Structure 1
């Protein structure tokens, strides 16, 4: 029997906040990741060409990306997302992933999933929503549209917490916008992906996903652009009041101004 060639990541330990129990909230715990990937093609004949193989960085990046998207209650959800991220790559045919908590019991407890091309929804990451910066009262939205709120006109404190407070103010604006438009509000990647797949408009509360993103200011348009780039959006629409100029943005995402 011809066994596929494989690459693997073993005993990769990362600290993260995860878990459904109250005792797990507000504290980080060690997670151990073991991934083994069956390759679609044998490595024979690659001629030492790095561009013709599946990079080990794909595995570590999938773990980092999964942990960056949201706080998870379940290891199963995290493992599924990592598997889907790995299987986006054509060289990956099948992945076996084990995720374990190391600090809950004297040993390790966890979950092992086996996924292959066709058994996970790898298309979720490739769908192209439209991200709309909602800086004007533009209310007619249908389909896979994510509304990113403008900052409310609230004073910000001084003393080093301005960015955190500004992000929480964006969350407040998101809930207000969702209530006004009768739309759900999402603060994590899983809910955003679901809305995209269901082709439903949704409002994004950003602080949970961007609080720890280094170098990202709490500027609402910068935050909206970050989401558009992360999702591979079809475009970023910017709704601004009449008389207010559209800012100059450096991005590969198409940007357009919309009006009522």
Structure 2
């Protein structure tokens, strides 16, 4: 009988076979190596490393003869496309998250019963560093970071943080439980300058993070949030959040905002990414090019 230790270090296909109470067909993609930017360490940002994927999918048998028809079976392309799609969706810190997302996408396929995903970093140590997960159809659909509520995105310029109108609008949001996420900008002339483009982009994002903390200090109802999961939780729990952009923007591989220092570009990009219901701005109207027309709030609300 195969030991648990042997199974722990066996290929996912061996684990799949040993763990199956019933014999199911399997398809696999083995030793699929891709250059990926991933990792939580600063040294892993701005560079790629080799990552190896091994995926085994247990599939339910078709009701009748597949008649050698590729359109009726779960193909290898389903696996490789899941890997490609999840790598393109945004930069991740953890292999665990990437494995979960790949498994979740594969399990959407009607024929998929269970999936084993092993991912290994090949360049981060003397050996291979990796994770392996197993997910079944019962687990599908429980992973994701899409917002459950389409909020109002409200731009609060740095100079209006102390404005009494902001307090009146916060009262309005609090009483009406209007889903809202505040966005601010870096303090004028406060971002240090350097000659490295990648580092300067990081500095500019962190400067906006600092402003978000300053804004939150004006009112205890405002909570600083930096991830989609936090944003979603805040919306579902009627929390007034202010966006600290460094994590979300730094993690985006394709389609990231180009002009970090243009606050209205950041607002438009963020609103589009969240599929916001509307975009508001506090104070003097500013020029804004994008999909959303900005509703500039020059007077406090009259409903409280």
TM-fit CA distance, 1:159:
5.1
Q: Render the CA deviation track for 1:84-121: whole Å, top value 9, x for unaligned.
A: 45556778664432122324554323222122444252
Judge which range, 154-163 or 119-128, deviates more: 154-163
Question: In 2, Cα distance between the equivalents of 1:145 and 1:86?
Answer: 34
- Structure number with the higher helix fraction is 2
Question: In 2, Cα distance between the equivalents of 1:228 and 1:246?
Answer: 16
TM-fit CA distance, 1:180:
2.1
Among residues 200, 217, 220, which one is paired with 1:179 in the alignment?
A: 217
- Residue 154 of structure 1 is matched in structure 2 by 189
Q: Assess, with a 3 A threshold, how the Cα gap between structure 1 residues 208 and 126 changes in structure 2: closer, same or farther.
A: closer
1:1-260 superposed matches below 5 A = 3=24, 6=27, 8=29, 10-18=31-39, 24-27=41-44, 29-37=49-57, 44=66, 56-65=80-89, 68=91, 70-72=92-94, 75-84=95-104, 87=107, 94-120=114-140, 121-122=142-143, 124-125=145-146, 127-135=148-156, 137=166, 138-139=169-170, 140=173, 142=177, 145-154=180-189, 157=193, 161=197, 163-182=201-220, 183-196=222-235, 198=237, 200-211=239-250, 216-218=258-260, 219-231=262-274, 233-242=275-284, 244-245=285-286, 247-250=288-291, 257=295, 259=297, 260=300
* SS of residue matched to 1:26: helix
* SS of residue matched to 1:63: helix
Judge which range, 95-104 or 156-165, deviates more: 156-165
Unaligned runs of 5+ in 2: 1-21, 158-165
Judge which range, 218-227 or 102-111, deviates more: 102-111
Question: In 2, Cα distance between the equivalents of 1:59 and 1:173?
Answer: 37
Question: In 1, Cα distance between the equivalents of 2:179 and 2:82?
Answer: 28
Contact kept? 1:240, 1:246, Cα under 8 Å:
no
Unaligned runs of 5+ in 1: none
TM-fit CA distance, 1:195:
3.5
* SS of residue matched to 1:202: strand
Q: Render the CA deviation track for 1:164-214: whole Å, top value 9, x for unaligned.
A: 443232112111122223233223344334435555332221123324655
Question: In 2, Cα distance between the equivalents of 1:15 and 1:207?
Answer: 20
TM-fit CA distance, 1:235:
2.0
TM-score (norm 1): 0.69
Question: In 1, Cα distance between the equivalents of 2:215 and 2:60?
Answer: 46
Contact kept? 2:24, 2:60, Cα under 8 Å:
no
Contact kept? 1:147, 1:201, Cα under 8 Å:
yes
Question: In 2, Cα distance between the equivalents of 1:146 and 1:85?
Answer: 29
- Residue 9 of structure 2 is matched in structure 1 by none
Contact kept? 2:145, 2:228, Cα under 8 Å:
no
Question: In 2, Cα distance between the equivalents of 1:98 and 1:127?
Answer: 30
